Every structure is written in C-alpha cells, then in structure tokens.
Amino acid sequence: MISFSQVTKRYPGGHEALSGVNLAIEQGELVFLIGHSGAGKSTLLKLIAAIERPTSGMVSVSGQNVGRLSHRAVPYLRRNIGLVFQDHKLLFDRNVIENVLLPLDIAGTDRREALKRARAVIDKVGLLKREKANPVSLSGGEQQRLCIARALVSRPALLLADEPTGNLDAGYAADIMAMFRDFHQVGTTLVIATHDDRAISALGGRTLRLDHGKVGEVSA
C-alpha cells in the first residue's frame, strides 16, 4: 500500500530528515515508527500524506506517486487518509459533532447520512454524551479521541497518527491504543509514530526504528 524507494528529504537550511529510505507497508498492517525526537518520524508521515514532498526518491501510496501529485489531486489523496495529530488540531469555534462532520462536509456527503456516521463514530470513541460540547471543555484524552473520530469518520483505508499519546497519561494512552487495535482488526492500515514502548508491547505489530534519517526493522 505504501512504498518508499530511496527517499531523501532535506529541509531548507540543509537539515536532512530522511536519507535514502526504503520501506514497504502492506494493506492491513499495523506499523509503529519509533526513534528519538527529530529522527524523522513526523517527516515520514508527512511525506505519505503529501504535506511535504521528497527532495529525491519516490513515495507511493496505493499506486500513486505522491511526490509528483498535482496540487489539485492532493485533497483527494488526503480524503482516503485519516490523520491523528499530537496537538489534535481541533476547531474551537464549533462543537464536537461539527468537528467530526467537517471531513464529510468537505467530501459533500448527504447531511442526514453524515450525521448518522458522525454519531456512530463519536459513540465508538465514547463521546456521544458530549456531542454538543465545545472541544475546549474536553480533557486531553477526550480531545485526542475526538481527533481520532474526525480521522475515522470518512472510513479511510489508511490511518496515520503522529504521537497520538504524546501528551496523555498512561490510562488515557492505553485507551487510545486499544482503540487503534480495534481499527486494525477491522482491516484499517495504521502507521503510528510514537515513543511509547508500553503501547507497542501491548499491541504487537511491526516496528520500524528511525535513526538519523535511516530506517531499520526492529525484530519483536
């Protein structure tokens, strides 16, 4: 589903976040990216979602050369990818359900169908009682679950999560990870960047270690 071939990403100023990375991720896989901060985990995820473009090499997602994707085609790629951010990136001028509805509005889904799907996914992350609440009033863990609900509401085949438990205490983090395991079991491909070793051991799956821009496989 995802393949990197000789991918290098150099930022303006000369910092090389990834150097000559090769990797392949199959459909339905659960993959953890680990490594110290600044090792290039976020960059790798951003390349998959076309938020950044590779300096050289080829990134391909579902057969599309993402690095060469035209500006107009990028939105349609992203509609098939759910993104979970460490800082949630929620919109505080609207309530919980409106945040979850945003991807469906963007895709032009019928309103009634959209509401149904939004409620279903909010229920799944356990926020149904808070659907009219403003995200400001939610705890950190709840905000992260809301972010996950928004990422999943359009039923993407691929979910990318950048430090999803980075700001959460252990109880919340275990919650979130259990949720990811459920999605993995229904066939979603997940790529999760984290430095939370407990989570990895609990869930199993494949682990890739990034170190100074190079990727290495970690045997379980």
Partner 1 sequence: MIGWLRHQKHALTAALRRLRMQALTTLLTALAMGVAISLPTGLYLVLGNLSGLAGDLPAQPEISVFLDTGVSTAQKQAIAARLKQADIAEARFVPKDDALAALSAAQDLADITAGLTQNPLPDAWIVRPHSTSREELARVADALGKLPGVAETHLDSQWADRLQAALAIGRTGVWLLTGLFAIALVAISGNAIRAQVLARRDEILVSRLIGATDRYIRRPFLYVGALQGLLGGLAAGGVLAVAGGILRAPVERLAGLYGSAFHLLPPTPVEIVAVLALTSLFGWLGAWFSVTRTLRQAEVAR
Where along the sequence are the contacts to partner 1 (CB under 8 A)? Answer: 49, 51, 72, 75-79, 83, 89-91, 93, 102-103, 105-108, 110-111, 150-151, 154
SS3 label, residue 59: strand
Taking the C-alpha atoms of residue 69 and residue 53, their distance in angstroms, rounded to an integer, is 9
The distance of closest approach from Cβ of residue 40 to partner 1 in the complex, given in angstroms and rounded to an integer, is 19
Q: Which is nearer to partner 1, 78 or 195 (CB)?
A: 78
Q: Which is nearer to partner 1, 159 or 199 (CB)?
A: 159
The distance of closest approach from Cβ of residue 103 to partner 1 in the complex, given in angstroms and rounded to an integer, is 5
The distance of closest approach from Cβ of residue 90 to partner 1 in the complex, given in angstroms and rounded to an integer, is 8
The distance of closest approach from Cβ of residue 99 to partner 1 in the complex, given in angstroms and rounded to an integer, is 9
Q: Which is nearer to partner 1, 77 or 133 (CB)?
A: 77
Q: How is the chain split among helix, strand and coil, in percent rounded to 5?
A: 40, 25, 35
Q: Which is nearer to partner 1, 102 or 202 (CB)?
A: 102
Among the listed residues 2, 30, 25, the one whose alpha carbon sits nearest the alpha carbon of residue 179: 30
Taking the C-alpha atoms of residue 46 and residue 7, their distance in angstroms, rounded to an integer, is 13
φ and ψ of 5, to 5 deg: -130, 115
Q: Which is nearer to partner 1, 75 or 140 (CB)?
A: 75
User: Around 68, how many Cα atoms within 13 Å sit in the side-chain half-sphere?
Assistant: 7
Most distant CA pair in the chain: distance in Å?
50
The distance of closest approach from Cβ of residue 121 to partner 1 in the complex, given in angstroms and rounded to an integer, is 14
Please, what sign has the CA dihedral across residues 114, 120, 123, 128?
positive
